[in-house]
Structure 1
Amino acid sequence: MRLLVGDRLPKFTESESKIVKGSMDFLGLNYYTACYADNLTPSSSSVNLSYTTDNHVNLTYEKNGIPVDQSTNSSWLYIYPKGIRKVLLYAKRKYNPPFIYITENGYKITFN
Structure 2
Amino acid sequence: MTNTETTTGLTTVSDATFAHTVLDAPLPVLVEFTAHWCPPCRMIEPVLTEIAAEQSDRLTVVQLDVDANPVTTAAYSVLSMPTLMVFRNGTAIHTLVGARSKRRLLTELADAL
Fold-level match, TM-score > 0.5?
Answer: no
User: TM-score scaled by structure 2?
Assistant: 0.21
Return the index of the structure with the highest Cα Rg: 1
User: TM-score scaled by structure 1?
Assistant: 0.21
